[in-house]
Structure 1
Amino acid sequence: RERAEARALRLATAIEQAAEAIAITDPNGVVTYINPAFEHATGFSAVESRGHNIRGLLGDEVALPLERRAEEHLTTYDSWKKKITNVRKDGSLVELDLTVSPVRGPGDEVANYTYVGRDITQEAALEEQLRQSQKLEGIGLLAGGVAHDFNNILTGILGYANMLEPDAAPGSTMQEGLHVIQQAAERAAELTKQLLSFARRGKRQNTTVDLNSTILEVVSLLTRTVNKNISVTEHFDTDQATVLGDPGQLQQIVLNLAINGRDAMPQGGSLTFRTWRQGLDAEQVMAHPGAEPGMFVALSVSDTGVGIEKKNLRRIFEPFFTTKALDKGTGMGLAMVYGIVKAHQGFIDVESNIGKGTTFTVYVPATDVVPATAHPADLPRKGHGRILVVDDEEVVRKLTHEMLRRSGYDVVTAADTTEAVAWYRAHPHEADLVIIDMVMPGKDGQECFKALKAIDPDVRAILSTGYGLDGHAQDTLDAGMVGYVQKPYHMEDLITAVADALADQPS
């Protein structure tokens, strides 16, 4: 008897201390026992629960269909499983992986039911974050492809208008029209730039940036544009807020989040910027693909505005998604933020409460390198020499040819890699520089450059593309190219890139 009592005590202790939520009911669903983990999962104590139907703990919405389906299932099977979302007594939510099993008596009748629930709230949140990340990744691929094709079109529109405007008579209708075309094309180019930022394919510098200084620069801009009924404050918990990245893009993150916060407070409120350093381990970055464990600089932007509805939280980083009026926003601001943060191997979290406000927190890998001082670039200059232009887009080929010709260069064009290699083989060492488009049918820019290097190991080339320096383009550049120009480009952008590439040419 003592042995049986000891065994029963061990079993009772094990159930009491189990991490799983365990409840026992009679055949009618009346609770006879719950353990502490079940108390935590429901918010009801054992005293409150005992003698009440299980649906009082799980709620009719969950419990009633649960009971019906479980009873139907358990006539044939020994247990029934389902993942449920339960509302605790305090209104908070918990995700449970629930198993219902019958305890049968001597005559095979159901004497009791046991409910065993494993708390999977954190797992469910991680799965949702991963699904959202994968969804945004797919949207990014689509956005990047559209932006690339659109940039090729804009290169012709913007480039020709830019090149022809000086030829038009001052004050003429022609000059005014060309100016309007340029402005419209530049607005469209800005949109493709935002799409590329979201797709993480935009042109990006890589230097050390102090995020505290970036915030102060943005605050200086904001003080001239926000209403006086919005207070702006900064709290820097670290003076080592240095990261490696693009200064302009990192400023864009802060500015876009600040504008988002400002727009959320039409009646006024407070906008708060914070920075701090935080070490994150593998488990903490698990839900953020691309992020590696290590030391991060965290930057948060908080507002006391209207808040974001839960149904919209999962969509706020999608391109063109906005809850603002049609004339109040494009829906690209937060999409840009997401893309830029991911391009910097970071991630972003958001917390929001309706009527209380929203906090966006950006995490970017920290660096201890001191920010460098920038030096002004030389102005574009006239040049000479022969240049081979390789691009499958006829409009871009003709435009680039004319821009270079007007700047003093002798120009040869090729529509693809095969044509370029054939010309180069027939005219070895005649081209001082080759401008190669990254994306072409058949053999792309990387393969073109390799083929030209096989003929002349000293070939000098710059990359031209509607994408930015994503992995493949960066690999091509790292293979020995001497420069890079982003489509769509103005004449001065192209000429500066060409002049810089030829400036350090061995004599």
Structure 2
Amino acid sequence: MRATVREAVASAAAGHFVRRELTMRGRDGGTLAIDFSIKPVRDEDGLVSLLVPEARDVSALKAAQAQLLEAQKMEVLGRLTGGVAHDFNNLLMAILGSLELVRKRVPYDPRITPLLDNAMQGAERGSILTQRMLAFARKQELKMDAVDVASLARGMMTFLDRTIGGKIEVSLRFPADLPRVLTDPYQLEAALMNLAVNARDAMPDGGDLIISGSAEQVEGRPDLAPGHYVRLSVTDTGEGMSPETVSRATDPFFTTKGVGKGTGLGLSMVHGLAAQSGGGLFLTSKAGAGTQVDLYLPVVRKDCGAAARPDAVAATGSAGRKLTILAVDDDPLVLTNTTAMLDDLGHHVIAVNTGKDALEILRSRRDIDLIVSDELMPHMSGSQLAKAVQRSHPGMPFIIATGYADLTTVAGDDTRLGLRRLAKPFTQGLLAQVVSEAMGGASSAGVSSL
């Protein structure tokens, strides 16, 4: 720094305005960014007679600029990730749906059937991967479900081992009778992955990472509503955090990692998931003594139960009458697959590629019972088509199948428009279930609810 100042003074003495950015250590030991300038002042003869130095602490400005840059990076990365996952979901939709229909129609053959099952399992694993991508990109609605956290954690072990590396020992500790919790399983996976990566970064020389769960009854706490919870804990033997760092750890964009190594969004996303689920996130840490993150998630009430398995719905035919269904999708692979699934369920399907063509069909025919549409289509989206349909055909049951959730959609709008939403890729069993729900809602209330 001294050499920089000497060079600046010499340049200013030669008559040049000089501006430099310096870094120096503050009183608290932190690094300060200083905007330093020297302005030469000339006398009547034009000679430099005075140097006017000025220095400003721009640490807060630099920090704000870094936060803005990280936010922009995350926005771009989120859009890219969401777009890739959407397109990948369309491909998986065609693959998984076609394999499912072939599996039903081909008699068991020991040389063929196991290969079909293997291909279907591969496509399902691809679907799980895209759900994780969408959870990261925040292009996925929070879908509350009864979740077995122990099974979820066990299912992540291979992925965790690959991500965390060989120097860290990962262990799971869950009791056999741990109750289910009410949360979004894909978001919970993303939260656990965030916490595990944070723990890895806190243990550069290796250590132990323990993921555990316990049932807790909470009473008299100001930070949690009374009730039954599962405490999901992620504990590491790493560097730990100071009290000041702990107090800011869940602030958006706060990070102790170097530039480009951390977004400062991981813990804030986990904190948001806990709050949306009706629970909370709590940190216990001490410098040099590791960190424990406790995620409190509410236990599922007995009257809620686990969500019904979509595959439990009979996929061999419709429980109700034969329907005339208008299918709309700009992707011919997905449209062919959806049409084949609905046809196999016993329905009559009219397939079109655009919202404009769908409206033309509705104007020329009076026998359409239900519309199944893609969301992202050129010229007219599925939501825009639904609004147009409700103006001309109020109460028409409408299902939107989408590769990712449109976060601008309001649940009230879905109810008003009679919409059901179906995430791609979907199985024939899930499609049959949603069709049944849409028609049931339409017959009982004129409009189906989300």
On whether the aligned pair clears a TM of 0.5, the verdict is yes
One-letter code of the match for 1:314? G
Aligned residue in 1 for 2:128: 190
CA shift in 2, pair 1:479/1:147, >3 Å: farther
Aligned residue in 1 for 2:10: 71
Aligned residue in 1 for 2:308: 377
Contact 1:144 1:195 in 2 (8 A): yes
CA shift in 2, pair 1:488/1:179, >3 Å: same
CA shift in 2, pair 1:132/1:208, >3 Å: farther
2:241 paired with 1:303: no
**Aligned partners of 1:360, 1:115: CA distance in 2, in Å?**
46
One-letter code of the match for 2:260? R
What secondary structure does 2:327 align onto?
Answer: strand
Aligned residue in 2 for 1:470: 407
One-letter code of the match for 1:377? A
**Aligned partners of 1:208, 1:161: CA distance in 2, in Å?**
29
CA shift in 2, pair 1:130/1:233, >3 Å: farther
CA shift in 2, pair 1:166/1:506, >3 Å: closer
Farther-moved stretch of structure 1 (153-162 vs 142-151): 142-151
| Aligned-pair CA distance for 1:248 | 1.7
Contact 1:262 1:271 in 2 (8 A): no
2:85 paired with 1:147: yes
Aligned residue in 1 for 2:59: 121
Contact 1:380 1:495 in 2 (8 A): yes
CA shift in 2, pair 1:97/1:304, >3 Å: farther
Which digits, 9 at most, give the CA deviation of each residue in 1:378-401, with x for residues without a partner?
742442322111111111112111
**Aligned partners of 1:377, 1:185: CA distance in 2, in Å?**
22
What secondary structure does 2:139 align onto?
Answer: coil
2:35 paired with 1:97: yes
**Aligned partners of 1:154, 1:444: CA distance in 2, in Å?**
21
How many pairs are equivalent?
Answer: 392
Farther-moved stretch of structure 1 (67-76 vs 386-395): 67-76
One-letter code of the match for 1:98? F
Farther-moved stretch of structure 1 (252-261 vs 104-113): 104-113
CA shift in 2, pair 1:345/1:479, >3 Å: farther
**Aligned partners of 2:435, 2:65: CA distance in 1, in Å?**
48
Aligned residue in 1 for 2:423: 486
| Aligned-pair CA distance for 1:164 | 1.4
One-letter code of the match for 1:174? I
Aligned residue in 2 for 1:314: 260
Greater radius of gyration (CA): 1
2:356 paired with 1:422: no
Aligned residue in 1 for 2:329: 391
What secondary structure does 1:420 align onto?
Answer: helix
Contact 1:204 1:468 in 2 (8 A): no
**Aligned partners of 2:117, 2:169: CA distance in 1, in Å?**
39
| Aligned-pair CA distance for 1:76 | 3.5
**Aligned partners of 2:338, 2:170: CA distance in 1, in Å?**
49
Aligned residue in 1 for 2:23: 85
Aligned residue in 2 for 1:442: 379
One-letter code of the match for 1:303? D
CA shift in 2, pair 1:103/1:342, >3 Å: farther
CA shift in 2, pair 1:232/1:163, >3 Å: closer
| Aligned-pair CA distance for 1:115 | 4.9
Aligned residue in 2 for 1:454: 391
One-letter code of the match for 2:398? A
Equivalent positions of 1:309-348 (< 5 A) are 314-316=260-262
Which digits, 9 at most, give the CA deviation of each residue in 1:112-140, with x for residues without a partner?
7645333x323322321221011110111
Specify every segment of 5 or more residues in structure 1 that has no aligned partner in the other structure, as ranges: 1-61, 235-242, 279-298, 319-333
**Aligned partners of 2:154, 2:222: CA distance in 1, in Å?**
24
Contact 1:161 1:182 in 2 (8 A): yes
One-letter code of the match for 2:55? V
Which digits, 9 at most, give the CA deviation of each residue in 1:64-109, with x for residues without a partner?
23332343245436x6443322135886411223344568899976
| Aligned-pair CA distance for 1:409 | 1.8
Contact 2:37 2:54 in 1 (8 A): yes
Equivalent positions of 1:18-417 (< 5 A) are 62-73=1-12, 75-76=14-15, 80-88=18-26, 92-101=30-39, 110=49, 114-118=53-57, 120-205=58-143, 246-260=183-197, 267-269=206-208, 303-305=236-238, 314-316=260-262, 374-375=304-305, 376-377=307-308, 379-381=312-314, 382-383=317-318, 384-417=322-355
One-letter code of the match for 2:207? G
**Aligned partners of 1:400, 1:272: CA distance in 2, in Å?**
41
Same amino acid, percent of matched pairs: 23
**Aligned partners of 2:209, 2:439: CA distance in 1, in Å?**
52
